[in-house]
Amino acid sequence: MEESKDALKKRITAKRWAVETGGVMVGGMRVLTGIEDQNRITTVVANARRSGLQTVDFKAAGAWVTISVADVEAIACAIALHVQASFTAERAHHEAIDALPDLAAVQVYDVTAGWPV
């Protein structure tokens, strides 16, 4: 079956979603990056200092840890950079796909290259 540019872009978008929500390593911890995880981290960052918290109990992927509010802020920054890198990679792929000259180039395009880890 021949794949069109639009179909290839849909595969790239699905890949971006998988990468974006697939988690990230921060300070030796695997941190989840699904939408709900992103929202919870943002909420902690927004409210922890205002609530007078110095540390928080945090559930990394598979383990509980007690970390400082500054550590939570660093995690939030790492997640934001990871999410942005995922979208930047998706955009680069979409632009590269738009520039492909023909169907043969579409069929051999590497959707796995250029993604954040």
Q: What is the pLDDT of residues 39-89, one digit of tens each?
A: 999 999 999 989 999 999 998 888 899 999 999 999 999 999 999 999 999
DSSP 3-state helix, strand, coil percentages of the chain (rounded to 5)?
55, 15, 30
Q: What is the pLDDT of residues 22-50, one digit of tens each?
A: 999 998 899 999 999 999 999 999 999 89
Distances (CA, A) of 20 to 14, 49, 93: 10, 27, 15
Give me the mean pLDDT over the 6-22 stretch.
97
